Amino acid sequence: MQEEEGRRLMGHRRGRHLIKKEGTSTTIVISRWTCVLVIMLCVTSSITIPTSNIIPLARPVPMNARGPTTQVIGVGLAYHPTTSLSECTVHPQQPLSAATPAPVPKWQFVTNGTVWAPTMAYDINNDGLKEVLAGCTTIGGSDNDRNLYVLSSNGTLLWNFTTEKPTMPLLDGGITTMATIADIDNDNSLEVLFGTDGGYLYCLDAATGELVWRYRDPRTQNNTTISVDGSPAVARLPNGTCVVVFGQYVARWSDDDPYNGLYALRGDDGSLLWNFTTEYGVCSSPAIADVDNDGELEVVFGSNEDLMRSLNLRTGHLEWATLLRGGNSVIWSNPFLMDTDGDGVIEIYVMTLAGDLYVLDGATGEKVLLGIFRDSNASPVLADLDGDGIIELAVAMYYGTLFLLNANTGTQLWNSSVDGAFETAPAIADIDLDGNLDIVVASEWRDTSLYAFSRTGNIRWSVPLVDILSSSPLVTDLDNDGNQDIVVGSGSRVLCYTVERSNPFAYSWPWIGERGGAGTTGNWTDHDGDLLTDTYELAAGSDPTLNDTDDDDLSDYQEFIHSTNPRNNDTDGDSIPEGWEIENDYDPLDPQDAAQDDDLDNLTAYEEYLAGSDPHVMDTDGDGIPDGEEVNTYGTDPASNDTDSDGMPDNWELTFGLDPLKNDALEDPDGDGLSNLGEYHAGTDPQMADSDSDGLSDGWEMANGFDPLDPVVPLDERLLSSSSLLVGVGGAVAIVVIGNRKWRRKRAVDSARRDPSR
């Protein structure tokens, strides 16, 4: 099925370990990361669990003046400054922010293992605060720390759970996946799901840490090197059954191993619903959504033979399979799902280990190669960073370069490099709450630091960390103090930093990142179509059933982009809804701009909002009356040139003494037989019966085909034959014959009246 070159050694995810079996010989393949860990273990003669795992987090020491730089380069290249980091450095960003608050150490929690998988933050006990979940794996296979830790918002231990250690020497039973939090048994309480290096999927009670159930393929022996590396995904079928899906692989290499593949379990008891066997196993986290709009959920996942597949979640039936780049790579990254082009069909974004970035059509699996890079374990993350309606894609490369691309075209917008290695997915959030989204990503190897990039690619700040970084950062306000917190696993530590807010009104939206970010269960369903998954909205505080929770003409996703409150249509309290402010280029986080008068029409922005006029155009409706005069002097509508909708413009009515606020179209104040509306269309004066002073009323002239604005008109045979006309107008008619043309000159006043002697 696959090309022969695809049948090659597939290493443990993120460079761990693998046993390759060839004939009767067995080769242990250990990556450079394993070597580093073994060296660390050898240096440490003994390891004990500290009595108190909470210690103050020291501030960074001063750094050299030089530091990482930003340089625009070509795709697939890297720029590596030679200066190393040793302190927190602030890189000023203009014009997005005049000041760049640097992160301040808040707390750290020390384990006896390695915090390998990304941490998760969620309010698991309904106390209004977010708890941090961090899983540990051991160093070099020693029996040190295989715990899932649940920490309070201030870093104190709430509970921990120790996983079972397998008998296979190279597998430690450590936790290799991000925890998934969901109510999987319909008891209105949350459970925690995670996988281990020993092939188990665990389900725990989120409040107590007690074991609910665990699953391991019963066909396997305890010494089989099975690992669950991808985070489990959870979704509910129409019949109410909760399905838990996860992938696993067998590190002992053999073709068509029946234990490689994807498993679907019942959420209430952990029993097997179905499994789908793959050739080389699954290290990527599965993603669930109705990707083909057929009314049923599918599960999408990548495998180690460079295949992306879509299965029916209910049955496990294969919908489509797409081979990426000839099968010469593996897929360890997690897919990111979003309808980026607005066509109603979900796009699937995935990065291969070789560095190929693909987007696949959810309905057909058709692939498009967006870019060729090299060496990336990190998952792509998508967001509209600048609010222009175009989705951008951020992806971090192992050689230390962060790229931002147009998600639809793959066009590179910028890249920025550091002297380290990006091995984890970035997190996108407004970290200092200034109304602008930032990108946070962790670097390791030569430069073990946490970096913050602006949406334009500038490095805003960097924080040196102390150990290996294999955990993606998260950003959220853990304790509701109004400031964003950044949590990341670094070696044996869980580190928490806080960033002082720049704007007092900004809403602290949590991060969008790996597997979708905050609240992720691997279920990418977006019922209201606002580009935020239902699970993210529940974690963030918006309504997953409403595109615009607060009805301010700003979608919930746009509220995320601008850091506004999804449940308050006026975040800054200036009495102007955020949708209007964004549409008219005002800051929804600045109450002072309500008093601005940008078009100098004597109306403030707030008054323009009330009037429905354009705050940047002096005469919104183009009727010749400035908006300020319309509102303050005449009471007319500055956004409509005909306030009373009577067919006559306001300015015309005001000019001729009519009422622009009253429908007086059929009135005839001058008694000339022509209505006001008729006068407007004729161009005559509605207050003057004979606009051209020719002795003929405007109404009569219009009725008989004459121009009421021209005192000299062609002689008409009807005029010559009508004695009543001559009597009616009470004037003499002079006839002048020139050639065959007859002209009459109308007199406004009877000559006899002017000269009685005649």
Is residue 568 included in any domain, yes or no?
no
Number of helices (H), then strands (E), belonging to the chain: the values are: 12, 41
Among 516, 538, 553, residue at a domain's last position: 516
Is residue 494 included in any domain, yes or no?
yes
Q: Which residue has the higher pLDDT, 749 or 571?
A: 571
CB 402 within 8 A of CB 415: yes
Is residue 418 included in any domain, yes or no?
yes
Q: In the predicted model, is pLDDT for residue 467 greater than 90?
A: no
Q: Which residue has the higher pLDDT, 60 or 247?
A: 247
What is the pLDDT, as a whole number, of residue 444?
Answer: 84
Is residue 742 included in any domain, yes or no?
yes
| Mean pLDDT over each residue of the chain, to the nearest integer | 81
Is residue 278 included in any domain, yes or no?
no
Report which listed range, 42-56, 648-662, 708-722, is most confident: 648-662
Q: In the predicted model, is pLDDT for residue 534 greater than 70?
A: yes
Q: In the predicted model, is pLDDT for residue 517 greater than 80?
A: yes
Structure token pair of residue 337:
């799902």
What is the pLDDT, as a whole number, of residue 260?
Answer: 87
pLDDT, mean of residues 471-491: 95
Among 516, 544, 570, residue at a domain's last position: 516
What is the pLDDT, as a whole number, of residue 139?
Answer: 57
Is residue 378 included in any domain, yes or no?
no
Quote the domain boundaries for residue 739: 676-754
Is residue 18 included in any domain, yes or no?
no
Q: In the predicted model, is pLDDT for residue 693 greater than 90?
A: yes
Give 252's strand partners: 19
Tokens 């306000």 locate to 477
Query: pTM value?
Result: 0.81
pLDDT above 70: percentage of residues in the chain: 78
Residue 392 identity? E
pLDDT per residue as tens digits for the range 162-182: 998 877 666 677 898 899 999
Q: In the predicted model, is pLDDT for residue 480 greater than 80?
A: yes
Q: In the predicted model, is pLDDT for residue 60 greater than 60?
A: no
Task: Identify which of 263, 251, 146, 127 has the alpha carbon closest to the alpha carbon of residue 196.
Answer: 146
CB 19 within 8 A of CB 26: yes
Question: Per-residue b/e over 716-742, b at no fewer than 16 CB within 10 Å?
Answer: eeebeeeeebeeebebeeeeeeeeeee
Weakest mean pLDDT among 52-66, 295-309, 397-411? 52-66
Among 516, 546, 574, residue at a domain's last position: 516
What is the Cα–Cα distance from 410 to 7, expressed in whole angstroms?
Answer: 30
Q: In the predicted model, is pLDDT for residue 21 greater than 90?
A: no
Write the DSSP assignment of 273-309 as a string of letters: EEEEE-SS---SPPEEE-TTSSSS-EEEEE-TTSEEE
What is the pLDDT, as a whole number, of residue 19?
Answer: 33
pLDDT, mean of residues 202-215: 96
Could you tell me how far CA 154 lies from the centroid of its own chain?
28
Q: Which helix (H) or strand (E) holds 450?
A: strand 449-454
Structural domain total, the chain: 2
Q: In the predicted model, is pLDDT for residue 728 greater than 80?
A: no
Is residue 684 included in any domain, yes or no?
yes
Q: How many residues does the chain have?
A: 758
What is the Cα–Cα distance from 412 to 508, expressed in whole angstroms?
Answer: 29
What is the pLDDT, as a whole number, of residue 304?
Answer: 87
Peptide bond into 566 cis (omega under 30): no
